[in-house]
Structure 1
């Protein structure tokens, strides 16, 4: 029987320990641990999203903003201002705010005299305040994107991969969000408010970055314009334009009256009102290529020959991009896939192909400081 020398065992053990304690081993151990932490982070990413939804539903950004010109306030002051709260639990609110402070949604200040912590707004939460001069309120959009309808459908994504078909339809038995909106008045209002919210953000950037694009127009149709918020803002800035807001009957039924804007109910898959130019804000990303070509061909029939153009406001994906909104574009692409019939975000090459098939062989992309870009397209 072979007997190993104690001296050799000692050398082997020492070498093994040194190897295990080497920089490379430390690096691999660190990577493994970081990988585990990353999975935990993704596992509970929904907590961030829904904790912020809770804060919006409780109107906490508005409560802080309305208190002394937005000066920080205590939890006791916040909870005393929450509507319809017969027995509020301040310990729950404290824990929610603790997380949202860590996520830089709210700020916290600990007074030197040992008094209650003071909670304030940050550049993020100011986007959730009503009536702010500098920021557009994103609350309505946030609430629609975190609604149970849109979130619930994600649980059927793997089933869609296996079987084909849209996750939203598997979840709710409806072909699209608009089917549900036409039957659920509360959801319809929330959806329209959310879309109006994006319009308010975009019009500010469009007026600044695309102001020459409206100068020569006499008439403009906002195709799928919701309740008309965006076209009304354009007409305010360019009163020489005759504005037409065009959407489905159940949407137009809730649209308010705006100066210089006519509301027309209809279906863009059948016919679109005539005008010098047509605006499609976040419309084509809702549909597959075949449906988009049909819409584009109807647009081509509706615009004036001499100065006619199509103004598309939508995401242009940057496959290798690392700019501010690029990651959000790819997340939105999956959101479209899950909740819309054939919906997708597109790269410039995909937009080019789509526009050519729809009768718009010439185009240019105009960058604005937003998630979306402007694609100005011209007929043959």
Structure 2
């Protein structure tokens, strides 16, 4: 075998090994979040010994050897830093935070810690093991793993429900900041805005706070809005988006349509079309746009999100620009433009005329 061929074979073998154990990174990350390692380092001002980290862990006798090995991988992945003060080992190495580990802080305004805990929870990992069965038999991965869909599990398991709600809340904060920063002009011309599937209204509250001239209508299922807190400038309306949507100058849909198949999305879009003015109305869709040949910062993540839809929804999917265009056309929106925002999502601004 030629040297070039041997090297190519070796590199391809390494790639398969790396992908095979890709889960190790997420498990180490989950461990760091569960032990609040980033928070402990942050509380010490950033330069922290392993002994100090261990003393901050909620345990009478943490295993330093295991901790050392977990930290070694996370340092290699640039989640944390390490500085060795002396070559003779007389002083302990000092661990610090990176820009990445700051997203693991539990009490930070912008944190992905709850999402890391949710996505690596055994109940949410289990459906991924059912992908081959879904290909062979069809059906819903989550249902195959648990005998019910994710919403049913959340309704009967308070701990899982809290885990899910905390994860959704943290990602909403992260995405909301990107929306407000990258879409300022898009809101300035609106007198009213309906957030369809808005949950307890967190996104709409931030939009109205930044644009107080807007009358906000938070729309979701009756039992959802029943627990929504009161906010100035925002009214809560209960209903079913498959039946009708409240009238407004514009409708916003954040991470809603990717949960549903094409037929259901068209129903939702047509109801949105009926709720806005024909001449001046628009629907603001905040979703992933898959780019098969894309090399942007979040382009690869979109394909992972698409598999996430297989694992956790009953027909949801991420879509390419062409797939969005076809869906919008059938839903009553022949024109659209795409607005890039600093987030793992984009804004599709669609118009009925």
TM-score normalised by length of structure 2: 0.94
Say if 2:169 is the partner of 1:193: no
After superposition, the Cα gap between the structure-2 partners of 1:264 and 1:63, relative to the gap in structure 1 and judged at 3 Å, is farther
Q: How big is the alpha-carbon RMSD for the aligned residues of Structure 1 and Structure 2?
A: 1.8
User: Where do residues 121-270 of structure 1 align in structure 2 (5 Å cutoff)?
Assistant: 121-132=97-108, 136-174=110-148, 176-270=149-243
Which of 63, 82, 86 is the aligned partner of 2:60? 86
Q: Which runs of 5+ in 2 are unaligned?
A: none
Q: Is the 8 A contact 2:194 2:250 kept in 1?
A: yes
User: How many angstroms apart in 2 are the aligned matches of 1:233 and 1:66?
Assistant: 29
Alpha-carbon displacement from aligned partner over 1:225-250 (angstroms, at most 9, x marks no partner): 23322111111111111222222345
After superposition, the Cα gap between the structure-2 partners of 1:141 and 1:249, relative to the gap in structure 1 and judged at 3 Å, is farther
Say if 2:351 is the partner of 1:378: yes
Which of 344, 348, 371 is the aligned partner of 2:321? 348
Alpha-carbon displacement from aligned partner over 1:82-126 (angstroms, at most 9, x marks no partner): 23x233222221111111111111111111273111111111111
User: How many angstroms apart in 2 are the aligned matches of 1:347 and 1:298?
Assistant: 23
Q: Deviating runs (4+, > 6 A) in structure 1?
A: none
Residue matched to 1:319:
292
Q: Is the 8 A contact 1:195 1:226 kept in 2?
A: no
- Return the structure number with greater relative CO, CA threshold 8 A, min gap 6: 2
Q: Which runs of 5+ in 1 are unaligned?
A: 1-19
User: How many angstroms apart in 1 are the aligned matches of 2:47 and 2:196?
Assistant: 43
Residue matched to 1:75:
50
| Aligned-pair CA distance for 1:42 | 1.3
Say if 2:13 is the partner of 1:36: yes
| Aligned-pair CA distance for 1:131 | 4.9
Q: Is the 8 A contact 2:29 2:116 kept in 1?
A: no
After superposition, the Cα gap between the structure-2 partners of 1:164 and 1:351, relative to the gap in structure 1 and judged at 3 Å, is same
User: How many angstroms apart in 2 are the aligned matches of 1:249 and 1:185?
Assistant: 19
| Aligned-pair CA distance for 1:347 | 0.8
| Aligned-pair CA distance for 1:319 | 1.5
User: How many angstroms apart in 2 are the aligned matches of 1:34 and 1:167?
Assistant: 33
Larger radius of gyration: 1
Q: Secondary structure at the match of 1:239?
A: coil
Q: Secondary structure at the match of 2:156?
A: coil
